[in-house]
């Protein structure tokens, strides 16, 4: 990596879309250490091909990727590679992005920010509309599978400043959403969503 862009923010409760050319990489930083960042990647030439958790798990034979793993699309080829991870490596591939239905089920009567709407809003800022909301790679989300069957919801085990680096294997659009979940402690015991940061490396 010869150069790095300026550090940019993913505002708390919001999403951001970034274009990456093949070979560029994206550093995603858990600035305050307890923030889940839902992430997606779409092939720049065909938004119908995108990073897909149900295909990725088959390709890597794991429920969470580790450094060196390809992050596969629904066409079962790499769109990103996880090339660096300073955190303990706990990420989630099992859970859908939060959405209005999730917050209604939690008792919200009005609108609540959510990662699904953040995906569409972030893509719209680039003039793009994804064909669906794929199940995201939930960076730092801590969903242990206990006894092979049950899942639990815990605060992240990451620390302030931990980061991952994702290298683009295709020209793509990556979307990050700083998850606005503040009704369960998935973004830390304080239940206070924070911003995250990112940097494009090339």
Q: Which two tokens stand for residue 13?
A: 């409760």
Taking CB under 8 A as the criterion, the residue among 105, 107, 111, 129 binding its own copies is 105
Q: What is the nearest approach in angstroms of its own copies to the Cβ of residue 95?
A: 5
Q: What is the nearest approach in angstroms of its own copies to the Cβ of residue 7?
A: 31
Q: Point out which span in 28-36, 92-100, 121-129, 194-202 binds its own copies (CB under 8 A).
A: 92-100
Q: What is the nearest approach in angstroms of its own copies to the Cβ of residue 196?
A: 22
Q: Which is nearer to its own copies, 110 or 148 (CB)?
A: 148
DSSP notation for 133-197: -PPPEEET-B-PEETTTEE--B-----TTEEEEEEESSSEEEEEEE----SSGGG-TT-----EE
Q: Which is nearer to its own copies, 19 or 75 (CB)?
A: 75
| Cα–Cα distance for residue pair 38/139, rounded to 1 Å | 6
Taking CB under 8 A as the criterion, the residue among 3, 6, 61, 111 binding its own copies is 61
Q: Which residues pair with 81 in a beta bridge?
A: 70, 167
Main-chain phi, psi angles of 195, to 5 degrees: -80, 165
Confirm or reject binding of residue 124 to its own copies (CB under 8 A): no
Tell me which residue of 18, 31, 38 sits closest to 160, measured CA to CA: 31
Q: What is the nearest approach in angstroms of its own copies to the Cβ of residue 11?
A: 25
- Do the Cβ atoms of 73 and 51 come closer than 8 Å? yes
Residues 18-57 that bind its own copies (CB under 8 A): 52-55, 57
Q: Which residues pair with 80 in a beta bridge?
A: 71, 168
Residues 126-185 that bind its own copies (CB under 8 A): 131-132, 135, 144-146, 148-153
Residues that bind its own copies (CB under 8 A): 52-55, 57-58, 61-64, 74-77, 94-96, 99, 101-102, 104-105, 131-132, 135, 144-146, 148-153
């Amino acid at each position: 990596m010869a150069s790095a862009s300026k550090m940019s923010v993913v505002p708390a409760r919001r999403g951001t879309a970034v274009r990456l050319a093949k070979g560029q990489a994206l550093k995603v930083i858990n600035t305050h250490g307890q923030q889940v960042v839902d992430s997606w990647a779409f092939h720049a030439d065909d938004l119908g091909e995108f990073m897909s958790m149900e295909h990725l798990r088959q390709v890597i034979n794991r429920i969470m990727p580790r450094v060196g793993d390809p992050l596969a699309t629904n066409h079962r080829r790499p769109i990103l590679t996880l090339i660096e991870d300073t955190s303990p490596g706990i990420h989630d591939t099992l859970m859908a992005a939060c959405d209005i239905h999730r917050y209604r089920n939690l008792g919200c009567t009005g609108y609540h920010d959510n990662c699904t709407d953040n995906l569409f809003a972030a893509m719209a800022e680039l003039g793009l509309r994804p064909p669906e909301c794929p199940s995201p790679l939930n960076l730092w989300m801590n969903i242990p599978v206990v006894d092979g069957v049950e899942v639990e919801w815990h605060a992240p085990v990451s620390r302030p400043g931990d980061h991952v680096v994702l290298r683009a294997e295709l020209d793509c659009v990556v979307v990050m959403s700083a998850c606005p979940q503040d009704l369960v402690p998935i973004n830390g015991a304080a239940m206070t969503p924070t911003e995250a940061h990112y940097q494009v490396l090339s």
